[in-house]
Structure 1
Amino acid sequence: MDNAARIEETIQGIYDTFDNPRKHPVEAGLGYIDGWIQALDGLGGSALTGLQTELRNLRAHVERDDRPAMAASLQLLGQETARIAHDLHSFTDGTGDQLRHLGQTLVTAAGNLKMS
């Protein structure tokens, strides 16, 4: 799966989870997290290593159903994703715009989780 498809699938998965929370089991969320950890594996760079670390933290929070920690982790991931998207703004393939949308979606998900 290419990055554009993975980003779109993740965004849709987040929306679906908040629209139908009972429909999406924890295992599905862990699968998304694991997929992103693997996708970033070996790409290098301190920003990507930081994202992987935070994804691993998020995975642990999901496994423990620690909602405040999940919200904080999603917030961090969203902010970092938006920062990376800003750096990719000059790419003409739309990756920066997709990442910016993903960052906004993660921040929104964090806010929704805080309120639930």
Structure 2
Amino acid sequence: MNHASRIEETIQNIYDTFSHPGKHPVEAGLGAIDSWIQALDGLGGSALLGIQSELRDLRAHVQSDDRPAMAASLQRLGEHTSLTARDLHDGTGDQLRHLGQTLITAAGNLKMV
């Protein structure tokens, strides 16, 4: 799967999770997080290493069902993703900006649940 498809699938899964919270088991979320960690492996760059580290933290928070920590982690991931997209002026940059905003929105939604 290419990164554009993976980004689009991630955005859709985030929307689906908050629209139908009982539909998406924790295992599916952990699988998606693991998939992103693996996809970013070896790409280098301090920004991507920060995102990978945050993904690992998010994984731990999901496993322990620590919702406040999940919300904070999603917020940081959204900010990291948006910063990474800042200098990309193509379709991938647009998708990453959308993903960043979606992650920040998900963090806000999680805080309200």
Task: Tell me the TM-score normalized by structure 2.
Answer: 0.98
Alignment of 1:16-95 (within 5 A): 16-89=16-89, 91=90, 94-95=91-92
> Alpha-carbon deviation of 1:23?
0.5
Is 1:111 matched with 2:108? yes
Is 1:4 the equivalent of 2:1?
Answer: no
3-state SS in 2 of match to 1:75: helix
Aligned-CA RMSD value? 0.5
User: What is the CA-CA distance between 1:108 and the residue it aligns to?
Assistant: 0.2
Stretches of 4+ moved more than 6 A in 1?
none
Letter in structure 2 aligned against 1:77:
L
Structure 2: gaps of 5 or more residues: none
Instruction: Spell out, residue by residue over 1:53-79, the C-alpha distance to the aligned partner (whole angstroms, 9 max, x if none).
Output: 000000000000000000000000001
CA–CA distance in structure 2, aligned partners of residues 11 and 38 of structure 1: 18
Deviation at 1:87, TM superposition (A): 1.7
Q: How far apart in 2 are the matches of 1:76 and 1:31?
A: 20
Q: SS of 1:23's equivalent?
A: coil
Deviation at 1:40, TM superposition (A): 0.1
Report how many residues are paired.
113
